[in-house]
Amino acid sequence: MEVFGLWLAAFFTLGIISFLYKDNPWYKFSEAVFIGISAGYWFVVSFWDNLYAKFYLGVTANDDYMLFVGAVLGAMMILRLAPNIGWISRWPLAFVVGAISGFYLMNYFSSNVMKQVQNSVIPLFSADYGQSMFTESFGTIAGKIVIAAGTFTGLIYFFFSKEHKGAFGGAAKVGIWVIMITFGASFGYTVMSRMSLLIGRMDFLFGQWLGMIK
């Protein structure tokens, strides 16, 4: 059975990789099997994790009757299958979108605004009071200037109430340069991590499956 599983995994891996050549029946078959199995898997996971573990056990074992609110909203979603009363399904949607927007507003505000500003408010030349002005290395000072100026000019780029012209436009241009350089570094870093995924797959094919890598 283990050998069968190994061959099956290799068959589907090669099927998906065959897409690099062009769309073909092998890829279509692998794609359909992958989608079908994953959709079925997630249905089962959702049923046991949510309907059974959270709702059924929550009500019967923990007497948490607030869960009925979620259950009723969920049932209202299904009403869209009935054409005459399908409009009721908009209510839970409105609830989900509205509640989530409100719930995350303060979270995002504190993490993306407050902490960003707090970490950008730094002395440019030294770390602690009492130290002389240039006690830190040139690299550290340059890093601090990049953090403060990069955040400031980055914000200017995302300022929509003023046309990017003159000095303001120049600062916005510096901001987008900082962003693009960051993207470049991030691109290289992520490509390297993707290479490790490819190496993992090749290791499976040539090592576990074909036994060519010991």
Partner 1 sequence: MDCTGKSQKYTYIAILTLFLSLLLIISSANAVNSEVLVEDTTSAFIPNAPTYVTATDYKYDRGESAIVKWQLSSDDNSTGKITGYEIFRSEADADNFVSIGVVLPGENSFRDKSTENGVSYIYGVVTLYNGRTSQMVLSEPITPGTEIVNWNLLNLFIIGLLIAGSVIFFITHAKRGKKLFIRKIAGLEAIDEAIGRATEMGRPILFIPGINDMDDVQTIAGITLLGRVAKVVADYDIKINMPVARSIVMTVGRETIKEAYVSAGRPDAYSDDMVHYITDEQFGYVAAVDGIMVREKPATCFYLGAFFAESLILAETGNSVGAIQIAGTAMPAQLPFFVAACDYTLIGEELFAASAYLSNEPKQLGSLKGQDVGKFMAMMAIALGVFGATIAEAWGGSFFIWLDEFMHRLFTITN
Distances (CA, A) of 71 to 25, 59, 76, 176, 189: 42, 11, 9, 47, 44
**Quick one: which of 109, 142, 198, 213 contacts partner 1 (CB under 8 A)?**
109
CB of 61 to partner 1, least distance (A): 21
CB closer to partner 1, 114 vs 199 = 114
Which 43-102 positions form the footprint of partner 1 (CB under 8 A)? Answer: 77, 80, 89-90, 93, 96-97, 100-101
Would you say 122 and 144 are in contact if contact means Cβ atoms under 8 Å apart?
Answer: yes
Cα–Cα distance for residue pair 171/155, rounded to 1 Å:
10
Amino acid at residue number 3: V
Work out whether 9 is an interface residue with partner 1 (CB under 8 A): no
Work out whether 22 is an interface residue with partner 1 (CB under 8 A): yes
CB of 178 to partner 1, least distance (A): 12
Work out whether 116 is an interface residue with partner 1 (CB under 8 A): yes
Rounded (10°) CA dihedral 49, 55, 61, 63:
150
Work out whether 181 is an interface residue with partner 1 (CB under 8 A): no
Structure tokens at 13: 């891996």
- Residue 80 CB partners (closer than 8 Å, separation 6+): 86, 88, 89
CB closer to partner 1, 24 vs 210 = 24
Sole residue written with tokens 């691109």: 187
Work out whether 195 is an interface residue with partner 1 (CB under 8 A): no
Work out whether 8 is an interface residue with partner 1 (CB under 8 A): no
CB closer to partner 1, 62 vs 118 = 118
**Distance from chain centroid for Cα 104:** 16
Amino acid at residue number 16: I
Would you say 16 and 31 are in contact if contact means Cβ atoms under 8 Å apart?
Answer: yes
- Residue numbers at the binding site for partner 1 (CB under 8 A): 16, 19, 22-23, 27-28, 30-31, 34-35, 37-39, 41-42, 77, 80, 89-90, 93, 96-97, 100-101, 104, 106, 108-110, 113-118, 120-126, 129, 131, 133, 148, 151-152, 155-156, 158-164, 179-180, 182-184, 186-187, 190, 194
